[in-house]
Amino acid sequence: MDFYSFAIQLLNGVQYGLLLFLVASGLTLIFGIMGIINLAHGSFYMLGAYMAFSLSSLTGSLLIAIVLGILLSVALGVFLEWALFSHLYKRDHLEQVLLTYGLILVFEELRSLIVGNDVHGVAIPDIFNWSIPLTATLSYPVYRLFMSAVCILLAVLLYLLIARTRLGMMIRAGASNREMVQSLGLNINLVYRLVFALGVALAAFAGMLAAPVSSVYPGMGTGVLIICFVIVVIGGIGSIWGALVAALLIGLADTFGKVLLPEAAGVIVYLLMAAILLWRPEGLFRRV
Amino acid sequence: MSDAILATQGLSRRFGGLMAAGNVTIELHRGRLHALVGPNGAGKTTLINLLSGELHASAGTIRYRGEDITHLSPDHRSRIGIGRSYQKTNIFPGFTAFENCRIAAQSRTPRALHIIADAFDYAPVCDAARRALEAAGLDGRGNRVAAALSHGEQRQLEIAMVLATAPEVLLLDEPLAGMGAEEAGRMVELLKKLAPDHAILLVEHDMDAVFALADTITVMVSGQVLESGPPAQIHASVAVRQAYLGDGTAAAAAS
Amino acid sequence: MKRKTLALLAALTMLALFPLAGATFYTELVTKVMILAIFALSLDLLVGYTGLVSFGHAAYYGIGAYVLGLMAPKYEAANLWLTLPAAIVLAGLAALAVGTLVVRVKGIYFIMVTLAFAQMFYFVFHDTKFGRGSDGISMNFKPVAAIGDFTPFDLANAAHVYYFVFAAMLAVFVFLRLLLRSAFGRALQGIRSNEQRMRSLGFPVYRYKLASFAIAGALAGLAGYLSALQFGFINPELLSWHQSGNVLLMLILGGLGSLYGAVVGAFAFVALQELFSSVTTHWQLLLGGTIILLVIFLPGGLASVMNRFERTLIGESGDE
């Protein structure tokens, strides 16, 4: 593999990893703050992608579709938290797993009913629809660079939100002691609702962003969910840094794997996980 | 380090900037009851957790019969003879009192490869369980589900479980917690009976019981050992009065 | 006689006489349910009695099926007495291998990591030449139960398969019953009840959990083998997360921490599946909705159901 091909795969791997990190951070946020494992998180990614498809066909512009999509996901998140997830706070993991598994089934079938099971493509918005030339034959799509940039920006914003704002402080406080926060008069229910909506929006947005590149197909939700699980396990319990490192590792392993060993590509990520678990059962960055 | 069964040297545990237990050096001898006292947050339970293996030490060593056990897992320490009871009742709530003790006794002869024979048919373990229940004053209560026992009975069960593992060292974390006067009296009698055959570390707030039972008292404050010695010395110590016994009685009464 | 024993005998008699009632379709349906019951029983050991919630149990089910598919020669029938033990052992070994890596992982991460490993095995069978790919394996012949020249029963006959599966289900049930009353089984239940205390009492908890994981995997492999035997067709979807989710659902339907519950749950699940698919092709929507309602409205949550069963179980065997 020559230098430019390698560079292209490297950039692809990093872009994929950053996208995974976006989805995984939504998952970790919801689990870390609210203690809920949400198997349906991948479904939000899938819904985001299908929304990008439907809304951009409707409005003619992916960018408008994304804005609408974000609004819809926030609304969906608020509704779901109010209707279903608020029941799960005191329940054990098995019940959360089952309820969200049921939710996956519901989302998949609803999507099947409303939009069908076809694979769709989504057009890259014109502003980004060009490539930077690298050699006579190779070039790199600007849209992918845009994706990476957006993911990095969001990651930074998330960090600022959690670490530097009053809302972030309330979120972190609520994570450690729900009752205490409530007795201080802060509306913990509102905080949880917002956090959940944020998590949903992150996953959906990632799906919308990825749609032009990965296309829109039925199994994309669970595919990304399970990879997110691997990220969380490899990255280490409770560590955002770990999730970032793990996401990039996986993005690179998967991308190079598909190119170098196509038959084993699906398995590589899990072998990586197995190797890391063997070496460090608590994940790469264990938070003491 | 004479004939100490369990001895620590400079044992410490920190959590980030907080030194939960600092530079603790104590010894436990067979036949002697060593009481550990101090206000809440002094590091007493931290020390017990360090000794039982549930917490990793940040520094220092622990020796059992001269062997370094600082890095041994909790289950390994239990198997070599270090038993521990919990301040917050930590039983098997859905099992009967008898089953609680039977499981505890089973740990000594696990017979893990016996996957077909009914565990109740193995007499040595069942007998050990019955003896432990009796020793703790729970004979006749064996068939009650543990969750249905009174608080005092659950504390008794807590002790019975440790006894069923026939340990040499007993690390007891506030066995009298939440007990009424009569129950506490019975527990003190039990501890008196156990003392000659075990090396006991007793964490307690009930100072009457402590002065009645202890051969040595160690006072901890804010993670550090303030003073250690025979009851008379501790009772007379000005430093101890100031730090603990003086305004400590209020803390003890509140706990 | 106690009411419970009467009900049990009645159910067993009905099951034993069922194939004589005629319709092959129903015989095959109940065979399928009993195979799922074995699958559910194997998971019950892990979830209901050891307290380890695995969302990747279908991996070992699928491996058991693939052992038959991959061992079966193309132009003659496989031998039952060779391939069946092989399936159990290989599924158990796979579970042992995965177990050594995952059993130390706590809480929800355990759920995640078991799902991930199941997905890994799924890709092994779906993507690689070794696994024969997404089209799966079609067996040309059913296995033969021959010992030398003697063939006690004919696995191409639906009724014979029914009774073989029935016997297997009973065997698994009795085995687990005995296992759970043994010293080993009680230690597992202790771990579920209070893992920290078990460790503090001197039990090497890791080894017990690993053993439970491996045994559960081996039994799941048995169920998978029987499934391949019944349908003659094996494909990667046997290892899908759908399959893992469904078997977990069976346990909840029937009631956790009770062996009967696993069997009842399997029947209930298939009944629901048949009911819903007769109403609409989008039956998974109804199933998903039912699961959601079940979790929300089960009074006191599932924990109380578990505790009640725990008390009943110990009360049963603690009478002396």
| C249-301 tens-digit pLDDT | 999 888 777 898 899 999 999 999 999 999 988 899 999 999 898 888 874 44
More confident residue, B219 or B241: B219
Nearest-CA distance C120 → chain A (Å): 5
Give the C-alpha distances (Å, rounded to integers) separating C188 from A240, C191, C206.
34, 5, 11
**Predicted pLDDT at A178:** 64
**Predicted pLDDT at C311:** 55
Residue C316 pLDDT more than 60? no
Buried b (16+ CB within 10 A) or exposed e, A257-282: bbbeeeeebbbbbbebbbebbeeebb
In a domain, A126, yes or no: yes
Read off the pLDDT of residues A31-41 as tens digits, 9 standing for 90 and up. 877 778 899 99
In a domain, A204, yes or no: yes
Task: Tell if the CB–CB gap between C314 and B103 is shorter than 8 Å.
Answer: no
Residues 285-314 of C with CB under 8 A from B: 307, 310-311, 314
A77, A214: one domain: yes
Nearest residue in B to C314, CA atom: B95
Nearest residue in A to C133, CA atom: A263
Read off the pLDDT of residues B2-41 as tens digits, 9 standing for 90 and up. 578 999 999 999 888 888 888 899 999 999 999 999 988 8
| Average pLDDT of span C240-251 | 93
Give the C-alpha distances (Å, rounded to integers) separating A118 from A61, A115, A217, A218.
21, 8, 7, 7
Nearest residue in C to A36, CA atom: C108
**Predicted pLDDT at A63:** 84
Reading phi first (left if > 0) and then psi (alpha if -120 to 50, else beta), residue C245 is in alpha
Are the C-beta atoms of residues B158 and B80 closer than 8 Å to each other?
no
**Considering only CB atoms, which chain B residues are within 8 Å of C183?**
106, 110-112, 114, 117, 119, 122, 125
Of A159, A183, A218, the domain-final residue:
A218
Q: CB-based contact (8 Å) between B191 and chain C?
A: no
H or E stretch at A140: strand A139-141
A146, A243: one domain: no
In a domain, A116, yes or no: yes
**Considering only CB atoms, which chain A residues are within 8 Å of C248?**
94, 97-98, 101
A263, A175: one domain: no
Nearest-CA distance C100 → chain A (Å): 9
- Measured in whole angstroms, how far is the alpha carbon of residue B187 from the centre of its chain? 13
A201, A112: one domain: yes
**Predicted pLDDT at C1:** 59
Percent of chain A with pLDDT over 70: 91
Residue C314 pLDDT more than 70? no
Choosing among B76, B120, B133, which should be mutated to test the C contact, i.e. which has the most C CBs within 10 A? B120
- Measured in whole angstroms, how far is the alpha carbon of residue A89 from the centre of its chain? 22
Task: Tell if the CB–CB gap between B145 and C314 is shorter than 8 Å.
Answer: yes
ipTM for the predicted complex:
0.90
A198, A250: one domain: no
Number of folded domains in chain A? 2
Nearest-CA distance C113 → chain A (Å): 7
User: Side chain identity at B31, as an amino acid letter?
Assistant: G
| Average pLDDT of span C100-111 | 88
A203, A62: one domain: yes
A92, A205: one domain: yes
Residues 23-82 of A with CB under 8 A from C: 31, 37
Read off the pLDDT of residues C173-212 as tens digits, 9 standing for 90 and up. 999 999 999 999 999 999 999 999 999 999 999 999 999 9
Give the C-alpha distances (Å, rounded to integers) separating C62 from A259, C219, C235, C236.
28, 12, 8, 7
**Predicted pLDDT at C303:** 44
Q: Is A141 helix (H, G, I), strand (E, B) or coil?
A: strand
Q: CB-based contact (8 Å) between C177 and chain B?
A: no
Q: Which domains does chain B have, with CATH numbers?
A: 1-81+168-255 (3.40.50.300), 91-166 (no CATH)
Nearest residue in B to C183, CA atom: B119
- Which pLDDT band holds residue A207 (cuts at 50, 70, 90)? very high
Return the partners of chain B (3 or more C-beta pairs < 8 Å): C
In a domain, A170, yes or no: yes
Task: Tell if the CB–CB gap between B104 and C194 is shorter than 8 Å.
Answer: no
**Predicted pLDDT at B1:** 43
A247, A169: one domain: no
Residue C305 pLDDT more than 60? no
**Predicted pLDDT at C18:** 86
> What's the pTM?
0.90
- Which pLDDT band holds residue C236 (cuts at 50, 70, 90)? very high
A177, A241: one domain: no
Residue A50 pLDDT more than 80? yes
Q: CB-based contact (8 Å) between B2 and chain C?
A: no
Nearest-CA distance C150 → chain A (Å): 43
Residue C216 pLDDT more than 60? yes
How many CB contacts within 8 angstroms connect chain A with chain C? 130
DSSP chain C: --HHHHHHHHHHHHHHHGGGG--HHHHHHHHHHHHHHHHHHHHHIIIIIT----S-THHHHHHHHHHHHHHS-SSSPPBHHHHHHHHHHHHHHHHHHHHHHHTTS-HHHHHHHHHHHHHHHHHHHHHSTTTT-TT-EE-SS--B--BTTB----TTSHHHHHHHHHHHHHHHHHHHHHHHHBHHHHHHHHHHH-HHHHHHTT--HHHHHHHHHHHHHHHHHHHHHHHHHHHSEE-GGGGSHHHHHHHHHHHHHH-TT-HHHHHHHHHHHHHHHHHHHHH-TTHHHHHHHHHHHHHHHSTTHHHHHHHHHHHHHHHHHT--
**Predicted pLDDT at C319:** 34
In a domain, A5, yes or no: no
**Considering only CB atoms, which chain C residues are within 8 Å of A267?**
120, 123-124, 127-128
Give the C-alpha distances (Å, rounded to integers) separating B155 from B47, B86, B97, B127, B135.
21, 9, 11, 21, 13
| Most confident listed range (A158-162, C1-5, C32-36, C68-72) | C32-36
In a domain, A51, yes or no: yes
Nearest residue in C to B117, CA atom: C182
More confident residue, C151 or A71: A71
Whole-angstrom distance, CA of residue C22 vs CA of residue C12: 18
Read off the pLDDT of residues A214-243 as tens digits, 9 standing for 90 and up. 889 888 998 899 999 999 888 876 677 788
| Most confident listed range (A132-136, A232-236, C140-144) | C140-144
Reading phi first (left if > 0) and then psi (alpha if -120 to 50, else beta), residue C148 is in left
Residue A288 pLDDT more than 60? no
A45, A160: one domain: yes
By C-alpha distance, which of B34, B87, B30 is closest to B64?
Answer: B30
Whole-angstrom distance, CA of residue B16 vs CA of residue C80: 61
Task: Tell if the CB–CB gap between A93 and C128 is shorter than 8 Å.
Answer: no
A190, A263: one domain: no
Beta bridge partners of B225: B220
Reading phi first (left if > 0) and then psi (alpha if -120 to 50, else beta), residue A211 is in alpha
Residue entry with tokens 């599946």: C273
- Which pLDDT band holds residue A70 (cuts at 50, 70, 90)? very high
Residue B250 pLDDT more than 50? no
| Average pLDDT of span A23-46 | 88
**Predicted pLDDT at B71:** 93
| Average pLDDT of span C160-181 | 95
Contacts of C17 (CB under 8 A, 6+ apart): none
Which H, E and C letters describe chain B, residue by residue?
CCCCCEEEEEEEEEECCEEEEEEECCEECCCCEEEEECCCCCCHHHHHHHHHCCCCCCEEEEEECCEECCCCCHHHHHHHCEEEECCCCCCCCCCEHHHHHHHHHHCCCCCCCCCCCEHHHCHHHHHHHHHHHHHCCCCCCCCCEHHHCCHHHHHHHHHHHHHHCCCCEEEEECCCCCCCHHHHHHHHHHHHHHHHHCEEEEECCCHHHHHHHCCEEEEEECCEEEEEECHHHHHHCHHHHHHHHHHHHHHHHHC
Residue A266 pLDDT more than 90? no
Task: State which residues form the domain around A129.
Answer: 22-218
Task: Tell if the CB–CB gap between C320 and B94 is shorter than 8 Å.
Answer: no
Q: Give the CA diameter of chain A.
A: 66
A108, A248: one domain: no
Residue A13 pLDDT more than 90? yes
In a domain, A209, yes or no: yes
